[in-house]
Structure 1
Amino acid sequence: MPTPPPTGPLVTRDGICAQLRRLGVETGETLLVHASLSSLGWVNGGAVAVVQALLDALGPSGTLVVPTQTADQSDPAVWGKPPVPEEWWDRIRATMPAYDPLITPSRGVGVIPETVRTWPGALRSAHPQTSFAALGARAREITDGHATDCRLGELSPLARLERRGARVLLLGAGYDSCTAFHLAEYRIPAPRVRVGRPGPGGWETVIEVSIDSDRFDELGHDFERDRPVVRGRVGAAEVRLFPVSDAVAYAERWLPLHRPRTEEFLHPRV
């Protein structure tokens, strides 16, 4: 069968940068970006052009941050997308490579974060499941010190982004992918979960706050209704821009009312 023609619009590096600037992205600021390449249209240069455009908009004094999560660095007993046979579990635990920020690929976050992770000069945080990668002037201060028993809480890059006045850019991504909301889960009553993963000394188990993006789309809808959110388009993608601190503060109030969770141990699924 013939290859179907590409669907537009045609999107270019300079066009993305110009549209981001019109939306209010400022030189020198720090952005936490969640992005969907396919939502933009036909991008000349693909993910590389998108990252270049983001760096152009931020300038040499700005900082680009993306999630580079690795949910597969976990116990195969809790895998659900897809599950693996139970008779494999012990062998998988014994042979799974430990997380290495330099070579462990991100998983489930898209090609743009993976492009940032492998970009010359990129730095990546130390958590083996919920790392962030950063490029730019403040990359080290944001990624350093990510505690390996604090996925998305006070000792993670999210808290540093909040304190430094960073903003979230949803570039063709929905609120269900907004990691900033997770920081609020560490500030309200929340269940704990046992998390298994490979470590430098072999298989290890840590106790963590349970994180869950369930109903984040509803949370985002109400947040956008009640708080100032810049909205626009880049290419064909819907874009939203807002402060990390606003999102966290709103989620701290919204989650206990709309998604109450008791203090208990849960069994995670990934």
Structure 2
Amino acid sequence: MGTTAATATTVRHGRAGLSGQLTDLGVERNGVLLVHASMRAVGPVSGGPGAVVDALRDALGAGGTLVVPAFTPENSDTSTHYLDRVRGLTEQAREAVRASMPPFDPATSPAPSMGRLAETVRLTEGAARSDHPQTSFVALGPSARELVAHHRPDCHLGEDSPLARLYGLRAQVLLLGTGFGTCTAFHLGEYRVPAPPRRTYRCVVTAAGRRRWWEYEDVALDDSDFAALGADFSRADDGAAVRTGPVGSSTSRLFRITDAVDFASHWLPSHRGGAPVRALGCAHR
């Protein structure tokens, strides 16, 4: 007697279905949207990350602007990424790693730790990128160049960064299959607390055509408690600020950047007692 093996069918999501889910979640037509995404959480998509970018732009409409972080901790020796990479190495091996780090170039430097969707946006024709050598942003749409212009090199995510411009436009933030641990918006709240702690950063840049190390001081960024911050934010006002729903196979969250930053700037002073320990946001996949 023969037997029939049950074959699991993998559901592949499509551009139109994803766009509809994004609209149902509340993505605003002709708005500005900052996205952190996990393609792994979204699940298999016909057309891959490119189709997800298209779905996001469909939901936003022709007048909408899509923004993603394009951070580059790979070219810094003060980043968590570097410290993890050289842990246990000899001093000679560490120097070899430092010597191999390429300088930041907004036109060509990849941002692998930000995930596949962010890289897809970065490589899309017409994308504009800010000039910060560590915490650049990439944008697509009518407001793209205005949003990423004049990103001061000694201001990661503060008042002279695209994050503050997103706040001024009351942009929405989409955590596409990611948790609040990746919520870059909370960093602007760190700048807005009284007398935020500061630290030294260092990265590789190009100056006068030559590769060199550049050292600067800025607010000490720390995302280690963002998951707890986000949990409290999502419960505030009986959950009114955060919309949650399916996008692909993921559970995603949508909220206004102004709500997130304002909540963070009040939450952080009463919940932090120690020194910040991390320099950049979490990786995406």
TM-score (norm 1): 0.91
Aligned to 2:34, the other structure's residue is in SS state strand
Q: Identify the residue that residue 3 of structure 2 maps to in structure 1.
A: none
Q: Identify the residue that residue 149 of structure 1 maps to in structure 2.
A: 154
Q: CA deviation at 1:155?
A: 0.6
Q: Deviations over 1:32-86 (max 9, x none)?
A: 0001111112211110110010011111110000001100121279622221542
1:191 and 1:261 in contact (8 A); partners too: no
Q: CA deviation at 1:30?
A: 0.3
Q: Identify the residue that residue 101 of structure 1 maps to in structure 2.
A: 106
Matched, 1:239 2:249: no
Map 1:231-270 → 2, pairs under 5 A: 231-261=244-274
Distance 1:192 1:233 in 2: 39
Q: CA deviation at 1:208?
A: 1.4
Distance 1:260 1:163 in 2: 30
Q: Residues 6, 171 of structure 1: CA spacing in aligned structure 2 closer, same or farther, 3 A cutoff?
A: farther
Matched, 1:139 2:144: yes
Aligned to 2:119, the other structure's residue is in SS state helix
Amino acid at match of 2:154: D
Aligned to 1:22, the other structure's residue is in SS state helix
Amino acid at match of 1:185: E
Runs of 5+ consecutive residues of structure 2 not aligned to the other structure: 1-6, 281-285
Q: CA deviation at 1:157?
A: 0.5
Matched, 1:196 2:206: no
Q: Residues 7, 223 of structure 1: CA spacing in aligned structure 2 closer, same or farther, 3 A cutoff?
A: farther
- Correspondence for 2:216 among 189, 206, 215: 206
- Correspondence for 1:71 among 49, 61, 73: 73
Matched, 1:183 2:188: yes
Distance 2:8 2:37 in 1: 20
Q: Deviations over 1:213-264 (max 9, x none)?
A: 01101100100100421111112101111110100000001111112356xx
Aligned to 2:253, the other structure's residue is in SS state strand
Q: Deviations over 1:111-138 (max 9, x none)?
A: 0000000000000011011111000010
Amino acid at match of 1:152: L
Distance 1:218 1:177 in 2: 12
1:41 and 1:237 in contact (8 A); partners too: yes
Q: Residues 185, 6 of structure 1: CA spacing in aligned structure 2 closer, same or farther, 3 A cutoff?
A: farther
Aligned to 2:84, the other structure's residue is in SS state coil
Distance 1:268 1:213 in 2: 6
Identity across the alignment (%): 46
Distance 1:205 1:76 in 2: 10
Q: Identify the residue that residue 84 of structure 2 maps to in structure 1.
A: 81
Q: CA deviation at 1:96?
A: 3.0
Q: CA deviation at 1:25?
A: 1.2
Aligned to 2:114, the other structure's residue is in SS state coil
2:222 and 2:277 in contact (8 A); partners too: no
Amino acid at match of 1:239: S
Amino acid at match of 1:213: D
Amino acid at match of 2:191: Y
Matched, 1:224 2:237: no
Runs of 5+ consecutive residues of structure 1 not aligned to the other structure: none
Instruction: Figure out how many residues of one structure are paired with residues of the other and give that number.
Output: 263
TM-score (norm 2): 0.87
2:224 and 2:277 in contact (8 A); partners too: no
Distance 1:17 1:238 in 2: 15
> Max radius of gyration: which structure?
2
Q: Identify the residue that residue 117 of structure 1 maps to in structure 2.
A: 122
Map 1:168-179 → 2, pairs under 5 A: 168-179=173-184
- Correspondence for 1:215 among 207, 220, 225: 225
1:76 and 1:89 in contact (8 A); partners too: no
Q: CA deviation at 1:89?
A: 3.7
